[in-house]
Amino acid sequence: MPVPLPTATTRWRCTLCGNLTRFDVTRSTKVVEYVHLDLAGEAKVEETEVLSETVESVRCRWCNAADQVELVDRPSAGAEGGADAGVEAEADSTQG
């Protein structure tokens, strides 16, 4: 069963251990490659066009759980209460 890829607004999360950062991803990719062979016969891929890509499975690296990875919303980049918000609030209080 294919697993959806994360988007700009979502990310993977393991439902068992809460991992958000480390996963083993098994993926099938169909590509067209432009391969250049030098005079010695060494191949070098110079262009790659991805025709299709399917994520077959995602396994958590922390707890080794398979089929327990879900998509969750990413935290907003400009959300209040971020790491810089506390520094700015402290700077404002010392200036006033």
Instruction: Quick: pLDDT tens for 64-82.
Output: 998 899 999 999 855 554 4
With residues binned 3-state (H G I as helix, E B as strand, rest as coil), the percentages for the chain, rounded to 5, are: 15, 45, 40
* Residues contacting 75, CB < 8 A, separation 6+: none
Distance (Å, whole) CA 59 – CA 66: 5
Which ranges of the chain have pLDDT less than 70?
1, 77-96
- Give the model's pLDDT for residue 82: 47
- Give the model's pLDDT for residue 3: 78
Q: Residue 19: which of 88, 72, 75, 94 has the closest Cα? A: 72
